[in-house]
Structure formats: structure tokens, C-alpha cells
């Protein structure tokens, strides 16, 4: 399977459907979050269990979240994905109680590959926009 197909399957299965048990099928033994400002895991190296914990914690306040892939571009060992994200605010985020409102965000992520496994990412995302939406929903 090519890297773009693997990434599409990973995003749909893990992030959109929340199938945390499928993570070992996609993630390398060590996953490096190279650059992801505003993400509590920025700069960390995670094993598979650590990545599973990250996904569970990230999805908890917005369990119906969905990444809509806009475009994919690949190079030798990576795939760049531009995306739009949305989900319903059903759990506390940064001390802000659930509003039941839809949150939206955009971003771009470069996923690194080690063979057929995803081994890390470098990402920019509009977290400020999400925070502004949370403040407006109070």
C-alpha cells in the first residue's frame, strides 16, 4: 500500500472513527511529534501505548471529530496533508465546559514514515481559532 493510502486509512480509522486498538497497525514503535505548537505532546517521543493515550485524550472532549483531507503531497519518506477539522464540543477543553457547539479548525501536517509505518509529524494548526470559538461559546 502506498503512503497516501496508509495515511488516508489512518486518519479515517484512528482519528475519525476513534479505533484506538487499530493504532499498532499504523504507528512505528517510536512516534516523534517534531513540531506541534499548542499540543501538550509537542516535542515528545511516544511509544504505541503513549500514542493511544494521546488519541484517547484528544478525542474525549470532541468524540465526533472528523478530519476532512483537502490535499495530500508526498516525498521520499513523508506525506503532507492539508485538512479541515470539525466536531461537537461535548467535554471540557482548557477549563471551558462543554457548549454543544461545533468547533472548526484548519491545518497542515507532514507525516513522516519509516517503511509502511507512520513515525512522526510536523504540524501547524489554527488552535487560536478554536480557542476563540470556545470563548465565544461560553
Q: How confident is the model at residue 1 (pLDDT cuts 50, 70, 90)?
A: confident
Average pLDDT over residues 60-76: 97
Q: Quote the distance between the C-alpha of residue 114 and its chain's center.
A: 18
| CATH annotation of 3-136 | 3.10.450.50
Average pLDDT over residues 70-78: 96
Cβ atoms 85, 107 nearer than 8 A: yes
Cα 125 to Cα 16: distance, rounded to the nearest angstrom: 17
- Global confidence as pTM: 0.95
Q: Which pLDDT tens digit goes with each residue over 102-126? A: 999 999 999 999 999 999 999 999 9
Check pLDDT > 90 for residue 86. yes
Cα 113 to Cα 125: distance, rounded to the nearest angstrom: 20
Average pLDDT over residues 32-57: 97
Give residue 123's pLDDT: 98
Give residue 7's pLDDT: 98
Q: 3-state SS of the chain: helix, strand, coil percent to 5?
A: 30, 40, 30
Cα 60 to Cα 116: distance, rounded to the nearest angstrom: 28
Average pLDDT over residues 15-43: 97
User: What is the DSSP code (8-state) at residue 59?
Assistant: H
Q: How confident is the model at residue 65 (pLDDT cuts 50, 70, 90)?
A: very high
In degrees rounded to 5, what are phi and psi of residue 46?
-120, 140
Give residue 97's pLDDT: 95
Amino acid at each position: 500500500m502506498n503512503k497516501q493510502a496508509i495515511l488516508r486509512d489512518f486518519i479515517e480509522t484512528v482519528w475519525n472513527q476513534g479505533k484506538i486498538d487499530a493504532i499498532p497497525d499504523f504507528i512505528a514503535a517510536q512516534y516523534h511529534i517534531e513540531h506541534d505548537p499548542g499540543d501538550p505532546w509537542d516535542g515528545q517521543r511516544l511509544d504505541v501505548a503513549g500514542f493511544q493515550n494521546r488519541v484517547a485524550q484528544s478525542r474525549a472532549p470532541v468524540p465526533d471529530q472528523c478530519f476532512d483531507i483537502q490535499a495530500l503531497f508526498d516525498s521520499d519518506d513523508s506525506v503532507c496533508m492539508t485538512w479541515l477539522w470539525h466536531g461537537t464540543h461535548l467535554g471540557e477543553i482548557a477549563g471551558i465546559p462543554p457548549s454543544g457547539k461545533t468547533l472548526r479548525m484548519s491545518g497542515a501536517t507532514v507525516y513522516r514514515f519509516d517503511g509502511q509505518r507512520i513515525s512522526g509529524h510536523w504540524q501547524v494548526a489554527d488552535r487560536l481559532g478554536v480557542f476563540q470559538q470556545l470563548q465565544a461559546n461560553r
